[in-house]
Amino acid sequence: MIDLTKSTARLLRTTIAGALAVALPATAILPLMPAAAASNDEELDQIVGALRAITTMRADFTQTDRNGQTVRGVMTLKRPGKIRFEYEKGVNMLIVSDGKALTFVDYDVNSKPKRWPIGNSPLGALLDPNRDVKKYGTVNPTGNPNVYSIAVKDSKRPEYGVITLIFIKDPGSPGGLKLTSWVALDSQNQRTTVRLSNQRYGMAVPDSLFDYHR
């Protein structure tokens, strides 16, 4: 259990809600590379193939904001379009997508949950690669043949921000690539980093998990 002061909890709410308006929450995090980096079609095809190969996925996550504040929890993904971030005890918030909209619920505040259409964000790069990745993705050089980095953004909609996904080669993961982290950068250059560990795939996940209750 974690003991959050009121000011820390307020900062967490602001950071989580703001970051997820443009994107969601590695064994190693790579810095964001220049957006003009040359695209590599073969790597892009491999990344898209790996994303499309995920049917369900569960992983532990740590989410770190620009001030270094870190929270933990469990992420559950079910394609197409469903995701749930369940935070550790003491962080009374929930983030869930039902396939159409991303909802942020703060159980410590008596207010209506915040919702954002998935289509208004590069979040679709993770939840719906058929739609976003090939059109908006740029493969960034990493200097390591076993590590792939792809930045996804819509240059015509800079307010949607950019999400950079990091993969490592792993024969045991769908498509031969393991998603290990991502970095979300919003239009105000505020960064949120999510690192994944203990990834598991292919488990049965009921659709009811992606509902929420006040």
- Assign 137 a pLDDT band (cuts: 50, 70, 90): confident
Can you tell me whether residue 167 is helix, strand or coil? strand
Contact 206, 82 (CB under 8 A): no
Q: How far is the C-alpha of 44 from the C-alpha of 104, rounded, in Å?
A: 31
pLDDT for 107: 87
pLDDT for 176: 97
Which of 7-16, 31-40, 145-154, 201-210 is most confident?
201-210
pLDDT for 124: 66
> Which of 9-13, 35-39, 56-60, 70-74 is predicted with the least confidence, judged by mean pLDDT?
35-39
Higher pLDDT, 134 or 28: 134
Contact 113, 105 (CB under 8 A): yes
pLDDT for 37: 40
Can you tell me whether residue 108 is helix, strand or coil? coil
Percentage of the chain lying above the pLDDT 70 cut: 74
**CA separation, residue 66 to residues 14, 70, 116, 189 (Å):** 12, 10, 22, 9
- Assign 123 a pLDDT band (cuts: 50, 70, 90): low
For the record, the structure tokens of 78 come out as: 């079910």
| Average of per-residue pLDDT across 129-138 | 73
pLDDT for 60: 97
Q: How far is the C-alpha of 33 from the C-alpha of 170, rounded, in Å?
A: 23
CA proximity to 165, closest of 17, 15, 48: 48
Contacts of 184 (CB under 8 A, 6+ apart): 19, 20, 22, 23, 24, 25, 161, 162, 163, 191, 192, 193, 194
pLDDT for 39: 43
Residue 104: is its pLDDT beyond 70?
Answer: yes
Can you tell me whether residue 94 is helix, strand or coil? strand
Q: What is the CATH number of domain 6-205?
A: 2.50.20.10
For the stretch 144-163, pLDDT in tens is: 999 999 988 777 777 667 88
- Assign 22 a pLDDT band (cuts: 50, 70, 90): very low
- Assign 48 a pLDDT band (cuts: 50, 70, 90): confident
| Average of per-residue pLDDT across 192-196 | 93
pLDDT for 8: 45
pTM metric for this prediction: 0.79
Question: Angle CA(74)–CA(167)–CA(89) in degrees, nearest 5?
Answer: 15
pLDDT for 54: 93
